[in-house]
Amino acid sequence: MVPLALQQQLVEIRRHLHQYPELSLQEYETTSYIQEKLQQYGITLRDTSLATGVFADIIGQSGPIIAVRADIDALPITEATQLPYASKIAGKMHACGHDFHTAALLGAAQLLQQKRLEMQGTVRLIFQPAEELGGGAAQVIADGQLRDVKAIIGLHNKPDLAVGTVGIKAGALMAAVDAFKITITGKGSHAAIPQAGTDVIVTAAQLITQLQTIVSRNVSPLQSAVVSVTAIHGGATWNVLPEQVTLEGTIRTFDEHVRQKVKARFYQLTESLTTMHHQQSAIIWQECPPALHNHASLAQKSMQVATQQNLTVIEPEPTMGGEDFAQYLRHIPGIFTFFGTGGTEEWHHPKFTIDETALAPAAYYLYESALQILINLKKGDL
């Protein structure tokens, strides 16, 4: 039975955070708020060189160190929920539920602090900045916050799962993310005299079509990849062929070999097609988080914890969405769980909401998972 007092407290925390969202690397007030809460709980803050983000240790008995992570940043979205606790900051919104994650981890922190004398090790709390930019986890790692940590736990709200349902899956859960920008430069001309120039609009149209063959003819049907062109910019009027067009988009993959193969083919197609049309291409490639692969043993332990909490455990379908929690998993084993919040809209929607009755169960899930993983690490079972 979830204590009513904890549930009410977490609702209050979440609603405060929801009303004052801050974008990636601008989470100054959020950082101060979290620090204040942890100090109220008597938890030791860790030193950091980062301007935003909070790190703390709950020190138990001699034993391993594990980490539990929540992300704290919001999005540049204008909220349209009409809730009484809607964002008070114009053009900014917690439209991905990071306020939920933060509140849940603060709840777990209280529970762990109360249990610290019995804990079989130390739990490091990571309130991570800049998940939405995709670089926050790398900054946390560079700051030394993962030093000596043996395993890490995280979760993400899932609006299409009912409250009381968790999605736990060993192996690939979320995709690697790459972003691209192509600039095609040719020779502009009058639209009525196309032979006097090199038409970059035609080249861009052909390239968009050709890029789709990367997946259909270069990736095995038994594997997954997505190539999406999401923005086109070129031309300013109806009777002029422009000299330049830009295309932007994203590529998603689960397997690192497929990721590199898709990238190589992307460059080949772009360069060969623009050369054929006597044009030049410049590609800006941004490598974002890798694919998120859950550790099999930790996934099994998390399923046991969830079952003991009377949560319904399902194996979720992998998603092409990206998550920079994957950066931590390049260094240490970990488990990332989807936690049902019964919303009506998906992530990043201006009417995104969560069912707040999921807050306390999420806090207990993080708390119990941390305790169990510490026990198993100390026994050498993981």
27 in a known ligand binding site = no
What do you get for the CA distance between the two ends of the chain, in Å? 29
Handedness of CA 302, 36, 324, 19 (dihedral sign): positive
Q: Is 132 annotated as a binding residue?
A: yes
Sheet holding 334-340, edge to edge: 44-45, 54-59, 122-128, 65-71, 149-158, 334-340, 165-167, 312-314
CA 375 – CA 233 distance, rounded (Å): 55
Please list, in sequence order, all residues whose beta carbon lies within 8 angstroms of the beta carbon of residue 62, skipping any fewer than 6 positions away. 121
- 171-174 and 292-294 beta bridge pairing: antiparallel
Residue carrying the six token digits 């306390």: 360
Which of 355, 335, 337 is closest to 345 using CA atoms? 355
- 356 is an annotated ligand-binding site residue: no
Q: Report how far apart, in Å, the C-alpha atoms of 7 and of each of 2, 44, 56, 113 are.
A: 7, 24, 23, 17
Distance CA 84, CA 86 (A): 6
CB count in 10 Å sphere of residue 169 = 22
Q: Is 248 annotated to bind ligand? A: no
The CA distance from 332 to 153, in Å, is 11
- Picking from 262, 264, 255, 259, the residue whose alpha carbon sits closest to that of residue 292 is 255
* 315 annotated as ligand-binding: no
Q: Which residues are annotated as a binding site?
A: 96, 98, 132, 156, 348
Q: Which residues are annotated as a binding site for Mn(2+)?
A: 96, 98, 132, 156, 348
